[in-house]
Structure 1
Amino acid sequence: MQNQRETARAPCCTLVKLFLPSMAFACFAKAFGGAYMKSAITQIERRFDIPSSHSGAIDGSFEMGNLLVIAFVSYFGSKFHRPRLIGAGCLVMAAGSFITALPHFFQDLYKYETSVSVGTGSNKSLHILPCVSNSSLSGADGAPDIEAIKACEKAIGSSMWIYVFLGNMLRGIGETPIMPLGLSYLDDFASEENTPFYIAIVQTVGIIGPIGGFLLGSYLSKIYVDVGFVDLDEVTITYKDSRWVGAWWLGFIVTGLIITLSSIPFWFLPKSIRKEGEDRRENAGKGEAAVAEQESFLSEEKEEEKEEEQVTCMEMAKDMGPSLKRLFSNKVYMLLVLTSLIAVNGFIGMITFKPKYMEQVFGQASSRAIFLIGIMNLPAVALGIIGGGLLLKKMKLGVVGAARLAMTSSILSCCLLILQAFIRCNQAEVAGLTVSYQGVPEISFSNQTLLSQCNSGCSCSLKQWDPVCAHNGMTYVSPCLAGCQSSSGASKDLVYHNCSCIGELMTPSPNMSVVLGQCPRKDDCNRMFKVYMALSVTGSFISAFGGTSSYIVLLRSIEADLKSFALGMQTLIVRTLGGIPPPIYFGALIDQTCLKWGTKQCGGVGACRLYDSHAFRLRFMGLVSGLYVLANVTWGALYTQIVKKQKRLAQADGVAANGVACDGAAANGAAANGHAMITVGLDADMIEKESTI
């Protein structure tokens, strides 16, 4: 009797529970790489001296890679060995990460724009006369020689950002099979009550990946790009400077290694396994001999089924058209895809440029902004996802309950997002750009406002960005434009003296010296930033709380044989229209608020150094908030459609229970008329629970 009881118990470690950590680690690895790319966007933009619209295109190349193959992978992939396809995808992702890092090894050393001439050895204390030394630069502000600039850029390889673009695209191709094939594999072989919890685990572990990616990005952004190849004592800028470029390339090597490791377990997992819970039901009351006999019989049966299920690619291709028609005739599915598409547009645009937003609006260093996102926003998202998954498991919510939870969290997070748009602090005080030389606030997009009587005799370059900070908090674009006459010290400790423009202020400072670097923001900015972060973290938690329920609505709203295909098509549409355009049009919108563009080594226009923070905030947060409001409107339409379908299913179930509608043929007819659209987990008990939630 005791042996029979032991036999009836479920095994402690099923194949589903072996697949689960493998899937979770793969999601961690891909999310780690994706988050690191987001954190490195600013560094890449500065390294290759490109505008935000170009860096947005680099970020969007990941989705372009998805677009190329996802429809075929999600449809045909479910017919083949799903774990091995996921493993192969991980290897392709790793190759893309390594290719992304390659341009660093073929480019010249990074040269930032500066007027400081650093000596070596005994000449390191060389005094510089900025007003005199820059007199030869006045001719550089004339009409540029376009042909000379193109030839110069070609010679130094400034177009090598294309390889970063292609590497990220390859990473997107490799990522394609992980989610659609992995989630459908879990849903097929996990028990119905455990599926939401397993998905929540995968998503939560996946969120740890971005945390690691952002923390790595924050750490590497403080390490100089050419570390090990230059004398860091000769670098006159710090990681807080807008010209600073961190060791972005090193992170892609790390991510490539991690993704390679994640591919290993999938090569040892089977194509299909027994559904979780079946062993306990079928083996209850059987002795060890009977179980051994049954397993032997099943192994032979599986071999026979494998031979019978050999289907040609041509036959599967012929069935693709009808499958698409069935999928796109599902109103719930189409509304869910539309809602996801709009929300993802807002999310992708926001997360891509959020570090830059925190840097320009609140004066945070790029590394600190990335660090805070990693240790505050992302853990809040992880807690929200696991909390939502546990609630779904405990309450046993069906389609309507899951949709209600997702919509409520979306509305609340949108309200908090709108509040964030009103959190602001004062502009950085930069003479000639955000304030006049007398200290009067004024925004100027013209280089001519950089000239004043105090620097009129210096023949300063108006293109150069080499900011210096006065003791009264005023920033000047360069020592020359500050009217400085002499200097002392060396490298980062260089100090300029006798700066005539400081005396033009309405409240002049007795100290007429400036130091290298842009002035920090005032104390009230730090207080407003704390309020912004509190709203941001709370909104992240609430938004993520409904994340798992959105997956449940999707999985429960389609036929079982279309799960992988539906997930793949949703990913295709959302990645295509929600992943590629947002970084580009968000970047172009942000570029319009630039006050001071940098200058490339060859003389062309480089990356933006300073933005109009108020215009940046209004355009950026206004666009994000507008997209999320629109997503909530479509959520309302989606919820209404789900409730209508559920009522019809409840009525059909009641008629069947009373014996009015009947046999299998009638049931098939009802399904053909759309009454069985939600096919997973729709029994009388679930409908009953829906009516009480």
Structure 2
Amino acid sequence: MAQDEKKTSDKVKEAPVVEGHELRKTEESRKIETYLVTVPIAVKKFGDIPDKKISDPNYNDSSEGPFGLGPFVFPCLQRFNNVHSFLILYFLTVNTHGMIFALVDKSLNVYKSQLSLSILDKFLLDGIDYFAGCMVAMFIGYFGGRGNRAKWVAAASILIGLSAIAFAIPFYNYEIIKLHEIKEELCEEGKTAKVCEETFIPHKSICIFFFICGQILHGIAGMSIYILGVTFIFDHVPTKSSGFYLAIADVGLPIGYIVGFVAGKQAFTLPVQEAMQAVGHIQRFRILQRRWWKSFFTVAVLAFSTTLPLFCFPSSLPGAQKLRLEKRNEPPTIDRRLKNKEIKPNLKGILHAIWCLLRNPLLMTQIFCKVTESLTFKTTLLFLPEYLQTRFLMVPSRSVSITGSLLFIGSITGRFIGGFIIDRLEMNNKNKLKFIAISAVISIVLFLLTFFVECETVKFEGINDDYHSLGVLGNLTAPCNVDCGCTTSDYNAVCGRDETQYFSPCFAGCEATKTLQKEKTYYNCSCIKEGLTSTDDEGHYIDAVSGTCDTKCLTMPLFFAFYVSATVFCNLSVVPAILIILQSVPASWNSMGMGLTFTMSRLIVSLPGPLLIEAASDFTCHFWDINECGKKVHCWIFDKENLVYTFQIIFISLQGSTGFLCLYGLYRYDYVVKEKIEKLPTPFYGGDSVCSWHRSYLNSSQESVFSYQLVGSWHSAKIFISMDKHHYPLSHLLALE
């Protein structure tokens, strides 16, 4: 009887057979869902009619829905219900976010020059977006991860549009850029110096208010994009292909920044002639500033255009559940302490989840790698223009343009190549850690090679030359220009016929200027006594021309090649680091893991990071622009030796930290990921992947009476029992029993 019950329990349950009209009903219901007729589905929803659907629970998920806006679903649009369509819309959204970054940086320079901002105002306007982002990152990671992430990204695109409008309002409603008569500073005896006085700037507070509001919206939008958008893409692509998809998504930010930078550069070209012809003060400044507010409004339109399609995506795309089941069969990569753990929907559960994430060494090492990545970018953005000005005597505007070109070309190339390599080689997390560490070391080597590129140093009067022993190093004033009344408010370098560079025409003692073939020439310069003379078309002797002196540096392209290569290797780690973060926690914890990543990285990068980098930059300054009130305004000239050592120490420290963090993660990887296994007695290996373990029991005369032996590979081992000099397989003895 017991055997009959056992046989009955061992029978496989057969699926019910659907026959006749039941089969037709099933086909009809599936036909409705396949072709997605909108009216019947809407009636079903409003009538609260249950949906009878026969589905395989292993490969279907209730969150996998059609592409549509509520009950409005159209069959012809279902071709867009896939990860490729989402990736395109996500790329465009990230593009608009990058454009805002560039336009904000450009407009912040306008605010600094036109609104006389204090140090606190500059710090607040520059870093409030990062601070706002770190305050909401965990909130977005928890609640957004439990909802429809595509709709959260759509809401982020709305916030981008609103932030662009907030940035545009001051340029449209208030006069920020004022026209001044640009008079080049020449040597004029008896010139009166400016008097220190407090200037009142109308609408300053309201302009700062709108700028801060725009920065806050911009920072919050970025968290939804980079936390929820990335996890949504990762959940809908195979693990081995995720590197390529995330690389495409990630390069959208620097590409958008480049587009915004070009637009902002065009906005700096003011339509002065057209503005002067306008009737009325309001019309005049709106024409003068129209390229600014039009640029922001254009970005707002682009951001709003991606909103509606993003709202149409379901919580999970078709096939997501099947993909999740396939990922479960992959080798484990998560922290074993988080296995089968869920985040409880209360404050205590959230805090416990954060504590568990903070104890994950793999996650924490990559979070700090993201911090070093951001700080390296900010350090390069600040120090490289200063280095180009000091080493190659470039004017500030040109050095900034070259820095942007080098940095973003290397950034785009490195991010894409890093993701592509991870995709093609199908690296596991241990190999990704090695890859990041090696990339950091190579970037340091290439970075150091740039400092071996030397050029001939040009004489700079007052900086590295003392006006032919008539002046003092570190002081631009000399007997030849002491009566000219020169100021250091504008750095307008000129090159004299004596192959010496001067800070401005005034400090060269020049009294007259002309414009010849789009090049300014200067005459009667009292500080220039030597050199070959040349005449213009009118027979006047030219003493100096505008711009820096030609250093005749033929090795400068080599410097650019080394630095672009170093930037590429710095950015190879961006996509692998994101993948390690996503793969070191369970799938349901991905959004929380990314939320913690951006909380810590944004907090460190927004508060102590800029202050330390700015302090290091001030330490390297050699010549400050001091205004009429005695305040330091801008650093024009930097100490070459201090600048090189400071730049090297910061860069090597950040990239070296990245390498050490990855080596530490590699050291802790097996402990974090693999289960603890009891150690058996040490086996004897007899060949490749083959083990032989033997143990005998002896009698008093040391003769073997009973022994057992394990022979074979670890995956397919056989046990033999030896008794009375005969060998019996264990399975045979059990069968006899």
* TM-score normalised by structure 2 residue count: 0.67
Q: Report deviation, 1:411.
A: 1.8
Query: How far, CA to CA, are the matches of 1:607 and 1:155 in structure 2?
Result: 24
Residue 125 of structure 1 is matched in structure 2 by: none
| Superposition map of 1:238-277 within 5 A | 251-276=295-320
Determine if contact 1:344/1:579 at 8 Å carries over to the other structure: no
The one of 254, 275, 285 equivalent to 1:229 is 275
Q: Report deviation, 1:555.
A: 1.3
After superposition, the C-alpha distances for 1:271-319 in whole angstroms (9 at most, x for unaligned) are: 233334839999xxxxxxxxxxxxxxxxxxxxxxxxxxxx9x9944342
Residue 351 of structure 1 is matched in structure 2 by: 381
Matched, 1:556 2:600: no
More helix, by proportion: 1
Secondary structure, counterpart of 2:246 in structure 1: helix
After superposition, the C-alpha distances for 1:438-461 in whole angstroms (9 at most, x for unaligned) are: 2899751xxxx3332223444555
Q: 1:19 to 1:651 in 2, by over 3 A?
A: farther
Residue 687 of structure 1 is matched in structure 2 by: none
Residue 291 of structure 1 is matched in structure 2 by: none
Determine if contact 1:218/1:371 at 8 Å carries over to the other structure: no
Secondary structure, counterpart of 1:502 in structure 2: coil
Q: Report deviation, 1:160.
A: 5.1
Query: How far, CA to CA, are the matches of 1:248 and 1:339 in structure 2?
Result: 36
| Superposition map of 1:75-224 within 5 A | 75-105=142-172, 106-110=174-178, 115-116=183-184, 130-132=187-189, 135-138=190-193, 140=194, 145=196, 148-149=197-198, 152-154=199-201, 157=204, 163-220=210-267, 223-224=269-270
Q: 1:456 to 1:359 in 2, by over 3 A?
A: closer
The one of 414, 422, 425 equivalent to 1:392 is 422
Query: How far, CA to CA, are the matches of 1:77 and 1:361 in structure 2?
Result: 49
| Superposition map of 1:219-618 within 5 A | 219-220=266-267, 223-224=269-270, 228-229=274-275, 251-276=295-320, 278=322, 315-351=345-381, 354-355=384-385, 357-359=387-389, 361-364=391-394, 369=399, 372=402, 377-423=407-453, 425=455, 429-438=459-468, 443-444=473-474, 449-461=475-487, 467-486=493-512, 495-503=521-529, 513-514=542-543, 517-524=546-553, 527-598=554-625, 606-618=633-645
Secondary structure, counterpart of 2:465 in structure 1: coil
Residue 127 of structure 2 is matched in structure 1 by: 60
Q: 1:487 to 1:177 in 2, by over 3 A?
A: closer
Paired AA for residue 165 in structure 2: F
Higher mean C-alpha deviation, range 399-408 or range 341-350 = 341-350
Query: How far, CA to CA, are the matches of 2:616 and 2:595 in structure 1?
Result: 31
* Higher Rg: 2
Aligned length: 575
Secondary structure, counterpart of 2:239 in structure 1: coil
Q: Report deviation, 1:177.
A: 0.5
After superposition, the C-alpha distances for 1:503-550 in whole angstroms (9 at most, x for unaligned) are: 2x6x686887455744244121xx343222101221232233333221
Paired AA for residue 260 in structure 1: F
Q: Report deviation, 1:422.
A: 4.5
Query: How far, CA to CA, are the matches of 1:99 and 1:392 in structure 2?
Result: 40
Query: How far, CA to CA, are the matches of 2:608 and 2:274 in structure 1?
Result: 38
Q: Report deviation, 1:262.
A: 3.3
Paired AA for residue 562 in structure 2: L
Determine if contact 2:410/2:567 at 8 Å carries over to the other structure: yes
Q: Report deviation, 1:592.
A: 3.8
Residue 15 of structure 1 is matched in structure 2 by: 82
The one of 613, 626, 637 equivalent to 2:664 is 637
Query: How far, CA to CA, are the matches of 2:211 and 2:389 in structure 1?
Result: 24
After superposition, the C-alpha distances for 1:451-478 in whole angstroms (9 at most, x for unaligned) are: 3222344455566655544233434344
Query: How far, CA to CA, are the matches of 1:457 and 1:416 in structure 2?
Result: 49
**Fraction of identical pairs, as percent:** 19
Residue 285 of structure 1 is matched in structure 2 by: none
Query: How far, CA to CA, are the matches of 2:392 and 2:106 in structure 1?
Result: 18
| Superposition map of 1:31-50 within 5 A | 31-38=98-105, 45-48=112-115
Q: Report deviation, 1:364.
A: 4.4
Paired AA for residue 129 in structure 2: F
Query: How far, CA to CA, are the matches of 2:114 and 2:387 in structure 1?
Result: 19
Residue 138 of structure 2 is matched in structure 1 by: 71
Paired AA for residue 642 in structure 1: Y
Determine if contact 2:433/2:663 at 8 Å carries over to the other structure: no
Q: Report deviation, 1:39.
A: 6.3
Q: Report deviation, 1:606.
A: 3.6
Query: How far, CA to CA, are the matches of 2:132 and 2:497 in structure 1?
Result: 50
Q: Report deviation, 1:563.
A: 0.7
Query: How far, CA to CA, are the matches of 2:640 and 2:117 in structure 1?
Result: 20
Q: Report deviation, 1:251.
A: 4.6
Secondary structure, counterpart of 2:192 in structure 1: helix
More strand, by proportion: 2
User: Structure 1 stretches of 5 or more lacking a match?
Assistant: 1-6, 118-128, 232-244, 283-310, 653-683, 685-693
Query: How far, CA to CA, are the matches of 2:423 and 2:152 in structure 1?
Result: 30
Q: Report deviation, 1:627.
A: 1.9
User: Structure 2 stretches of 5 or more lacking a match?
Assistant: 1-33, 35-77, 278-288, 327-341, 536-540, 680-714, 716-737
Query: How far, CA to CA, are the matches of 1:438 and 1:583 in structure 2?
Result: 40
